[in-house]
Amino acid sequence: MKSFLDHQILYPKRFGFMPYFWTLALLIFAIQALLTTKHFDWISLILVIIFLKLYRDGYEIHPLLPFDILGQLVIAAYLSFTIGMGTLFIFTAWEIGSLHLTPKKFYQYTSIYLITSLSVIGTDMILNPHNYDTFGLIITFTFAIGSPFAARSLGNSYRRLASLNQNNKRLESIIRQNERSRIAKDLHDNLGQSFSLITLKTELADKLIDKNTVKAHSELKDIAQTSRNDLNLVRQIIDDLNKKTIAADMIEEEKNLQIVHITLNSNNESITEHWPKDIQNILASTIKEASTNIIRHSKASRAHFQFDEDDNFLYLKISDDGIGYTKVRDNAFGIAGMTQQIEKIKGDIKINSEKGTTISIKIPKE
């Protein structure tokens, strides 16, 4: 049953809600047209149902697609003359524009559509000139000619957006893989060599323990010192891993804000790539805390992050269009924590809440 619905009734998921909206509109137009006839036209009703089936199948690129398109155009032409349903041409036009066709195929289908629809409209104008005025003619021809091109432009925009989202996911994966490779290289180059040295010195100390105890003790001391150095190196690697970059945190916070339908915008984010890692780590924590406050308290619809720098300072401004606040809550440890972190690196932080909330941070480059 599910397979039948997916392949025969429901539209492909990649088109989202749009085809169902058009189908609902088509049904409303059809019912209105059929009810205005003197006698209920069963032939027109059957043709509308066939049109709906051809329209649904036309959203899939398959060998019979030309017949789906031609069938729709023939039915639209017939119903245009019989019950005045010329609007059906617009549905076919948007379907042609929505499909991911090659330019050659798109122009072929569009040419057939334009020849058919404009011929029908022209004939109807000759037979029923009283149904058209100058403004109506302009609207009719504009929609008839422009619909497939407008739909193709919109479809290309959606596909570019989907491609961009997919590329962003790939880039995130590449970044994670590069970070794993860097860690593996650090471990191999530093700890690997050190562990090999410890192994050799242990074997040497074992051989010297009975023959030259002084030399053996010296080797054991070297082993202990090397082990301490390795422990410090591991701690440093772990500390580096725990540090977050601004770019990584912005990706995470954008996802969090999207969950509660808050749009995130940022300017000059790319300049933070060369900012010192320690400063990035602190600012990443600030961004996270500010985003948390926006989500919990602001009732905002937009959050804006502005990054700047000059010869002496690094700047970050975080603002939202929410309700702001009248005073800092007694338990607002997040704001106090942000202030302490910024002051640690001799920075300055100001919070303003006249229109929404704005956090302005200035950090000396030195």
DSSP secondary structure string, 197-247?
HHHHHHHHHHHHTTT-HHHHHHHHHHHHHHHHHHHHHHHHHHHHHH---HH
- How open is the CA angle 11-12-14, to the nearest 5 degrees? 130
- Establish if 347 belongs to a structural domain: yes
Residue 69 CB: number of other CB atoms within 10 A? Answer: 23
Q: Which contacts (CB < 8 Å, 24+ apart) does range 343-350 have?
A: 344/282, 345/278, 345/279, 345/282
Q: What is the CATH number of the domain that holds 294?
A: 3.30.565.10
- Mark which of 107, 132, 157 sits at the end of a domain: 132
Using pLDDT thresholds of 50, 70 and 90, give the confidence band for residue 362. Answer: very high
Residues 335 and 283 in one domain: yes
Pair (123, 18) in one structural domain:
yes
Across the range 22-36, mean pLDDT stands at: 83
Residue 173 structure tokens: 């994966």
Rg (Cα) of the chain, in Å, rounded? Answer: 34
pLDDT value for 25:
84
230 and 184: one domain?
Answer: yes
The overall longest dimension of the chain from CA atoms, in Å, is: 119
Neighbouring C-alpha atoms within 13 Å toward the C-beta of 297: 17
Is the model more confident about 37 or about 360? 360
User: Which one, of 123, 35, 36, 111, lies nearest residue 78 by Cα?
Assistant: 123
Residues 92 and 55 in one domain: yes
In a domain, 216, yes or no: yes
- Residue 67: band (very low, low, confident or very high) from pLDDT cuts 50, 70, 90: very high
Same domain, 201 and 225: yes
Check residue 1 and give its pLDDT. Answer: 65
> In percent, how much of the chain has pLDDT > 90?
16
In a domain, 150, yes or no: no
In a domain, 306, yes or no: yes
Asked, for residue 4, whether it belongs to a domain, the answer is no
Tokens 């690196």 belong to which residue? 345
Structural domain containing residue 260: 246-364
* Rounded (10°) angle between helices 213-242 and 134-186: 170
Query: Regarding predicted confidence, which is higher, 238 or 123?
Result: 123
HEC-encoded secondary structure of 29-52:
HHHHHHHCCCCCCHHHHHHHHHHH
Give the helix/strand (H/E) hosting 364.
Answer: strand 357-364
Which of 255, 262, 286 minimizes the C-alpha distance to 168? 255
Task: Judge if 236 and 250 occupy the same domain.
Answer: no
CA angle 262-290-297, nearest 5°? Answer: 60
Report yes or no on 143 lying in a domain. Answer: no
Axis-axis angle for helices 277-293, 246-259 (nearest 10): 10
Same domain assignment for residues 190 and 230: yes
290-324 pLDDT, tens digit each: 999 899 888 888 999 999 999 899 999 999 988 88
Q: Are residues 24 and 128 in the same domain?
A: yes
318-337 average pLDDT score: 71
**Domain closes at, from 217, 242, 267:** 242
Per DSSP, the chain holds a count of helices (H) and strands (E) of 12, 5
Indicate the residue type of 22. Answer: W
Q: Which of 219, 242, 265 is the last residue of a domain?
A: 242
Q: How confident is the model at residue 147 (pLDDT cuts 50, 70, 90)?
A: confident
Bridge partners, residue 267, by sequence: 306
In a domain, 86, yes or no: yes
How far is Cα 159 from Cα 181, in angstroms, rounded to an integer? 32
- Domain co-membership, 252 together with 360: yes
Give CA–CA dist 125/137, Å, rounded.
Answer: 9
pTM of the model: 0.53
Are both 265 and 333 inside the same structural domain?
yes
Q: What's the structural domain count of the chain?
A: 3
Cα 219–224–230 angle (5° rounding)?
A: 125
Which residue in this structure is represented by tokens 């972190």? 341
- Is 149 part of a structural domain of the chain? no
Q: Edge-to-edge strands of the sheet including 357-364?
A: 263-267, 302-309, 313-320, 357-364, 348-352
Could you give the CA distance from residue 139 to residue 312 in angstroms, rounded to a whole number?
Answer: 59
pLDDT at residue 108, rounded to an integer = 92
Beta bridge partners of 212: none
Instruction: Report how far residue 66's alpha carbon sits from residue 10's, in angstroms, rounded to the nearest whole number.
Output: 20
Instruction: Give the residue among 191, 159, 309, 307 at the shortest CA–CA distance from 246.
Output: 307
